[in-house]
């Protein structure tokens, strides 16, 4: 059996345009502090079976902290300092035929676009609202909307990007890797299915990683029983790094369609673009230093009660644009299997449309994060 995991924490100094404060928090469910138990045994030459059990222990969840909740409960269990099961599954693997796994785990489309990022800055800088998901957006009309819903996945996990981004009870197949290419597919009850393709290789002095996934989710409900629409989501991730110089670029794209049941509207072309450019180099004996800049643009994904509307379908009746930009530095410490970072982000939202009152204004959200993660 192998025991692994990490512990990660961040101090966030934030200003929402009305209030400012500083919080200490974990990195958010699915990125949170955890321990992972992995075991396997050989059945016969080329065949093995095993299990994975991953437990998160989160003191304050970055996904659920807000202006009024400085100690966020763990997102999956709803308790402060919560212990929650992120993955628990068994698998059978053939070197020639691939792997079948059954249980609670990452489905094929979970984190597909994110995981191509080989820069060393994936944890502090990605297209999910791990730090600000539950913070209210200050505004002048009393609109009820949080930053995670400024570019929403409409109740299907994830926030901004990586929709369908929480582990589920699924049956998953992963093919062997042939020439850098691999395929994955999974199915989950009541009902979710997805498929993903990946490639990684090195050509003419450049590292290249590409991954794409498509998923459909139907017959789902929010917590509390409210209907959510059927969802279709496609995501793509491309990462390129020049080996000699360490210059790198990352592009993530996601597009979502929501189809309300019972004659409700169809909402399509909810598009999210994320770009990160930077340099991975080595200035000292500690390890690599990563400098990066990032930009996210989300179109028509705002989900909230701009006019106090209670009908969920009508909450989509606006046009919106969310923008995020940021800068950061990550220092790796090889001897301790550790990374530390400092980063800055600005988030803004604009909305328009027939149900939006004239003169509505949303305050920007700015924050500085100072954090670290140590592996074991």
Within a domain: 310: yes
**200 in any annotated domain:** yes
Q: Are 80 and 73 in contact (CB under 8 A)?
A: yes
Buried b (16+ CB within 10 A) or exposed e, 267-293: beebebbbbbebebeeeeeebbbbbbe
- The pLDDT-based confidence of 223 (bands split at 50, 70, 90) is very low
> Can you give the CATH number for the domain in which 285 is found?
2.40.160
Residue-range definition of the domain harbouring residue 143: 108-375
Q: Are 34 and 57 in contact (CB under 8 A)?
A: yes
> Does residue 41 form part of some domain?
no
Provide φ and ψ at 147, rounded to 5°. -65, -30
CA dihedral 66, 68, 74, 79 (to 10 degrees): -170
**Cα separation, 153 vs 165, whole angstroms:** 9
Q: HSE of 144 in the Cβ direction (CA atoms, 13 Å)? A: 7
Say how many domains are in the chain: 1
Q: Which runs of consecutive H residues, i.e. helices, occur in 26-170? A: none
Q: pLDDT by residue (tens digit) across 54-107?
A: 999 999 999 999 999 999 999 888 888 889 999 999 999 999 999 999 999 999
Residue 260 covered by a domain: yes
CA–CA distances in Å: residue 284 to residues 120, 289, 332, 371: 16, 8, 10, 20
pLDDT in tens, 248-283: 999 999 999 877 665 555 566 789 999 999 999 999
* Residues forming a β-bridge with 35: 5, 55
The DSSP annotation for 259-294 comes to: E-STT--EEEEEEEEEEEEEEEE--SSS--EEEEEE
Confidence (pLDDT) at 306: 55
Could you tell me if residue 254 is inside a domain?
yes
Q: What are phi and psi of 30, to 5 degrees?
A: 85, -25
Residues linked to residue 322 through DSSP beta bridges, in sequence order: 298, 349
Residue at 137 is within a domain? yes
Asked if the structure places residue 49 within a domain, the reply is: no
CB 47 within 8 A of CB 78: no
Residues 6+ apart with CB under 8 A from 53: 36, 37, 85, 87, 88
The residue ranking higher by pLDDT, 268 or 13, is 13
Q: Give the pLDDT band of residue 286 (cuts 50, 70, 90).
A: very high
**Three-state DSSP class for residue 96:** coil
Residue 30 resides in a domain = no
Contacts for 137 with CB less than 8 Å, ≥ 6 apart: 16, 143, 145, 146, 147, 150, 349, 362, 363, 365
């Amino acid at each position: 059996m192998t025991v692994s995991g990490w512990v990660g924490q961040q101090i966030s100094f934030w200003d929402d345009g009305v209030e400012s404060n500083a919080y200490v928090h974990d990195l958010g469910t699915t990125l949170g502090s955890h321990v992972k138990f992995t075991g396997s045994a050989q059945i016969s030459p080329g065949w093995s079976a095993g299990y994975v059990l991953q437990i998160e222990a989160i003191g304050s969840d970055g996904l659920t902290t807000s202006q009024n909740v400085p100690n966020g409960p763990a997102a999956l269990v709803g308790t402060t300092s919560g212990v929650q099961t992120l993955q628990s599954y068994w698998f059978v693997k053939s070197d020639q035929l691939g792997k079948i796994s059954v249980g609670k785990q990452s489905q094929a489309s979970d984190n597909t676009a994110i995981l191509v990022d080989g820069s060393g800055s994936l944890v502090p800088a990605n297209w999910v609202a791990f730090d600000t998901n539950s913070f209210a957006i200050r505004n002048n009309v009393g609109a009820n909307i949080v930053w995670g819903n400024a570019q929403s996945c409409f109740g299907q996990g994830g926030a901004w990007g990586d929709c369908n981004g929480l582990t589920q009870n699924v049956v998953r197949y992963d093919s062997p890797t042939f020439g850098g290419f691999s395929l994955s597919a999974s199915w989950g009850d009541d009902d979710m299915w997805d498929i993903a393709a990946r490639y990684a290789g090195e050509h003419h002095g450049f590292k290249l990683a590409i991954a794409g996934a498509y998923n459909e989710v139907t017959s789902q409900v929010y917590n509390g029983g409210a209907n959510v629409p059927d969802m279709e989501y496609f995501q793509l991730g491309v990462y390129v790094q020049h080996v000699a110089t360490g210059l790198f670029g990352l592009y993530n794209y996601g597009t979502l369609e929501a189809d309300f049941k019972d004659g409700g509207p169809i909402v399509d072309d909810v598009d999210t673009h994320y770009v990160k450019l930077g340099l991975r180099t080595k200035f000292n004996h500690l390890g690599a230093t990563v400098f990066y800049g990032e930009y996210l643009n989300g179109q028509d994904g705002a989900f909230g009660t701009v006019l106090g509307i209670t009908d969920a379908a009508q909450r989509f009746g606006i046009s919106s644009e969310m923008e995020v930009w940021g800068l950061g530095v990550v220092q790796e410490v090889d001897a301790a299997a550790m990374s530390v970072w400092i980063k800055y982000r600005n988030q803004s939202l604009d909305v328009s449309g027939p149900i939006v009152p004239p003169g509505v204004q949303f305050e920007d959200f700015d924050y500085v994060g100072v954090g670290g993660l140590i592996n074991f």
